[in-house]
């Protein structure tokens, strides 16, 4: 993997990850004005959750026609000026978190119970390929490996930023999920706080040393394993929330992508692509999903959380979507219509392609 840094015309960083050396970046001809993000974080006093407010994101690009795709190389609206690339990563033009956001008062309405602070951090877009009509599952294993190396490199770099507490790598796929660009891509959020789900994991892991080892051992001995290798196991969790939900966990306790060795990355490229192909084969149509890579915080608690994938889909049957209604949205009390054992059996049975 060969990394080449460049700058877009508004000052945002663009990084190419190529499989062969020799790239000389093309200048961005658009003459964009500097990005002026306004990102603030407010804390809910009743739950402790952080809520980010970013009014500028309401004007972000929404499902443009293919000839105006900002992720295709070299086009008039492209964020990537070169005429081709393997993997490209750039700072989001409409970030949820940005170190350049201005200072805000420490409270809302002057009330100490309503805490707030600037949404410093960083948001990046990761383009998996320059082929607009491809998907992660379509890529050769070598390209998936390059994406993994890019994830690891970005995780290491973003984790060093002073304001960043946690780095989250994810892909949203499908209009049912809310995707606003069809080009195959993912995102990276470098949060200035620890997310609620990770806080819950930290709390449980602190009460039960070796929790991730215990869970993985139990799942590997159970009936819900989908794929397994020397370094990784994919399984439907015993308490799956979603009709399609698969976790992919390394056998070694590592905090993040940057800590994976070469053999672990090689096997991950094979198993992850296989898993995505199986998901697409479930209903004979591309599966809408969120693939979220959970990584340990950058500071306290880093030794407690293990890197792992949580992939889930809102599709519960052909032509049917699981909507998060009263119980899930209102109370975060999940009800799953599909038994996890049945979901795992189907994922084992379908051909990966």
Q: Which residues contribute to the annotated binding site?
A: 69, 72, 132, 183
In 3D space, the residue among 4, 176, 188, 161 whose CA is nearest the CA of residue 81 turns out to be 4
- In this structure, the dihedral spanned by the alpha carbons of residues 160, 164, 170 and 172, taken in order and rounded to 10 degrees, is -140
Local structure of 50: helix, strand or coil: strand
Q: What is the 3-state secondary structure (H, E, C) of 158-174?
A: HHCCCCCCEEEEEEEEC
Using alpha carbons, list the distances in angstroms from residue 288 to 127, 174, 243, 313.
18, 4, 12, 6
Using CA atoms, how far apart are residues 178 and 200, in angstroms rounded to an integer?
26
For residue 18 the two structure tokens come to 């190529």
Q: How many CA atoms lie within 13 A of 274 on its CB side?
A: 18
Local structure of 298: helix, strand or coil: coil
Phi and psi, residue 163, nearest 5°: -85, -10
For residue 143 the two structure tokens come to 């390209």
253 labelled catalytic: no
| Residue with token string 């609620």 | 196
Using CA atoms, how far apart are residues 24 and 33, in angstroms rounded to an integer?
24
Using CA atoms, how far apart are residues 349 and 299, in angstroms rounded to an integer?
41
- Bridge partners of residue 41, in order along the sequence: 52, 117
Looking at 56, 182, 185, 251, which residue is catalytic?
Answer: 185
Helix or strand run (H / E) with residue 130: none
CA 117 to chain centre: 24
In 3D space, the residue among 55, 3, 12, 4 whose CA is nearest the CA of residue 30 turns out to be 12
Q: What residues form the annotated binding site for Zn(2+)? A: 69, 72, 132, 183
Q: How is 213-270 classified by DSSP, letter by letter?
A: HHHHHHHHTSS-EEEE-SSEEEE--TT--SSEEEEEEESS--SSGGG--HHHHHHHHH
Other CB atoms within a 10 A radius of the CB of residue 250 amount to 22
Catalytic (active-site) positions? 185
């Amino acid at each position: 993997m060969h990394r080449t840094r460049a700058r877009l015309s508004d000052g945002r960083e663009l990084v190419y990850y190529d499989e062969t050396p020799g790239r000389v970046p093309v200048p961005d001809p658009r003459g964009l004005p500097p990005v002026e993000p306004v990102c603030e974080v407010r804390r809910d006093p009743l739950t402790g959750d952080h809520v980010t407010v970013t009014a500028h994101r309401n004007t972000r690009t929404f499902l443009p026609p293919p000839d105006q795709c900002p992720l295709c190389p070299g086009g008039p609206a492209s964020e990537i000026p070169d005429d081709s690339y393997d993997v490209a990563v750039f700072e989001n033009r409409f970030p949820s978190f940005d170190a350049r956001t201005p200072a805000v008062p420490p409270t809302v309405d002057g009330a100490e119970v309503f805490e707030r602070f600037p949404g410093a951090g960083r948001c990046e877009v990761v383009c998996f390929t320059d082929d607009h009509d491809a998907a992660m599952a379509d890529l050769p294993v070598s390209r998936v490996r390059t994406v993994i190396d890019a994830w690891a490199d970005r995780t290491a770099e973003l984790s060093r930023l002073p304001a960043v507490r946690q780095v989250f790598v994810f892909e949203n796929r499908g209009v049912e999920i809310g995707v606003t660009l069809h080009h195959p891509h993912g995102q990276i959020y470098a949060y200035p706080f620890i997310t609620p789900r990770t806080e819950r994991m930290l709390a449980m892991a602190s009460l039960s040393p070796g929790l991730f080892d215990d869970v993985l051992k139990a799942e590997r001995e159970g009936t819900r394993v989908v794929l397994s290798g020397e370094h990784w196991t994919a399984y439907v969790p015993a308490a799956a929330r979603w009709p399609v939900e698969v976790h992919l966990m390394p056998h070694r306790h590592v905090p993040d992508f940057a800590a994976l060795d070469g053999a672990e990355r090689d096997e991950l490229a094979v198993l992850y692509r296989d898993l995505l192909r199986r998901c697409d084969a479930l209903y004979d149509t591309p599966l809408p999903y969120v693939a979220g890579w959970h990584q340990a915080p950058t500071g306290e608690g880093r030794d407690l959380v293990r890197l792992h994938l949580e992939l889930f889909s809102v599709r519960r049957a052909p032509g049917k979507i699981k909507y998060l209604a009263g119980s899930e949205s209102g109370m975060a009390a999940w009800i799953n219509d599909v038994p996890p054992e049945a979901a795992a059996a189907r994922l084992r049975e379908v051909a990966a392609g």
